[in-house]
Structure 1
Amino acid sequence: MKTVSQAVESVIKVKPFVIEALCEGLLNISSLARQIQPMVEKLTEKPVKQGAIVMALNRLTPQLDYSLNRNLQKLLESLGDIIVRSNLTDYTFRNSNTIFNSHTKVMQEISNHQDVFYTLVRGVFESNLVVSSAYEELVEKYFAEEDCLLKQGELSAITLKLPADNVQVTGFYYHILKAIAWEGVNIKEVISTTNEFTIIVNDEDVDRGFTILKNLKTAYKQK
């Protein structure tokens, strides 16, 4: 059985968006206490007054603020290179039994080209392909029998190399996407691997997107 403080901490620590709003003073603590009261009572196995939860939140906030900034600052300071690739085209194809055959033929053609940007992501019902625009004709040759749902050009990719422990910090991707969204940059596609994070944006937004990601390293140092 947990104490009220322990229960409040357990409930709040799995809610990164609530943590951020709480640390920034954007939440009404009394309303938050009322909302989490049933969960706190379940963990403590006894009735808990709202005032006790408010007190626990007030004591917890400075600790959360320090922990949030410390963990994010550590990761953001260790972000790797930012790589920009321009002149890209984005395709969306309906999934079929032959789509991987088409993909394989394109890959065989471009396997010796080191300058090409090519990524294929298969979803449940459709597949997304982002490729260097110079290879559009090749894609359209081998994907000619596929059902193309969307084609869009004049795009750029911004790839951010991530530290190996990025998957251990809750809300890490949220802070990257939030910074981009707040500046009004429209993200066309998101491509992610374990240690790389790529956003596809319009050519006109690439400079702003690059600057936003570059500034992430210093943003938390100033807090």
Structure 2
Amino acid sequence: MKTIASCVEDILIKQPFLEEALFRQIINFSALSEELQAPVSKMLGKPVKTGAIMMALRRYAPPVHLRQSHQLKAVLKQLGDITVRSHLIDYTFQNSDTLIKSHSNVMETLDTKSFYGFSRGVYESNIVVSESEKRIVLEGFKNEKMIDSQDDLSAISIRLPKNNQRISGLYYQIFKRFAWEGISLHEVISTTNEFTVLVESHLVDQAFSAIKNLNAQ
């Protein structure tokens, strides 16, 4: 059975920026209650008073990653080196019985100093390489079905502190920063202690600044 509190929670979960602003107490509860009156009333199928919505907002329990923001801030201040690599191409191939063999052949001939990243999904796989390796990749995967390719990309890699995987909300903070800056991510590559994003090259300076500002929050 839906209640005013559950309706308010549903709305806040779907709008994480609003949820965080509420937790940081930088939103006027009265004004937000008036803003939510129409959608909450629609969800319940009956008129709802703003006073009841305001009460639900004040009683709302924020998610763990917001309640533990001090831990997040400590981790963000420990972010390691940031490395930028440019002139990259991202290829997407349809998975097949021969894809791993094709990938193995490419790996044997790639320049060890070039940028390289590979990820395999259920239906397709991605390989990100330096533009200088374009010929090798196209030759190695010539018998595979290419779904998409994108050139003129840049990668920004961040060294993460140890035990970062135990801090909930870390990736949320990173993605939130990009969203605030209006930066769209072409690809994300992650290992245990390293996080890499691919962006179009004309956005690399803006993306680099966004990451640098993470430990200034």
Which TM bucket (shorter chain)? 0.7 to 0.9
1: CA distance between counterparts of 2:190 and 2:157? 9
2: CA distance between counterparts of 1:193 and 1:65? 21
1:141 and 2:142 are equivalent in the alignment: no
1:91 and 2:91 are equivalent in the alignment: yes
- What is the aligned partner in structure 1 of residue 123 from structure 2? 125
1:74 and 2:74 are equivalent in the alignment: yes
CA shift in 2, pair 1:97/1:160, >3 Å = same
What is the letter of the counterpart of residue 82 of structure 2?
I
- What is the aligned partner in structure 2 of residue 109 from structure 1? 109
What is the letter of the counterpart of residue 77 of structure 2?
E
- What is the aligned partner in structure 1 of residue 161 from structure 2? 163
Alignment RMSD: 3.2
Contact 2:20 2:66 in 1 (8 A): no
CA shift in 2, pair 1:146/1:85, >3 Å = same
1:187 and 2:185 are equivalent in the alignment: yes
What is the letter of the counterpart of residue 162 of structure 2?
A
CA shift in 2, pair 1:211/1:19, >3 Å = same
2: CA distance between counterparts of 1:176 and 1:122? 23
The SS at the match of 2:163 is helix
- What is the aligned partner in structure 1 of residue 173 from structure 2? 175
- What is the aligned partner in structure 1 of residue 47 from structure 2? none
1:196 and 2:194 are equivalent in the alignment: yes
- Structure 1's unaligned 5+ residue stretches are 1-10, 36-48
Contact 2:189 2:196 in 1 (8 A): yes
2: CA distance between counterparts of 1:135 and 1:160? 24
Task: Between 64-73 and 149-158, report the one with greater CA deviation.
Answer: 64-73
What is the letter of the counterpart of residue 92 of structure 1?
T
Q: CA deviation at 1:69?
A: 3.2
- Structure 2's unaligned 5+ residue stretches are 1-8, 41-51
CA shift in 2, pair 1:214/1:54, >3 Å = closer
Q: CA deviation at 1:83?
A: 0.7
Tell me the TM-score normalized by structure 2: 0.74
Tell me the TM-score normalized by structure 1: 0.73
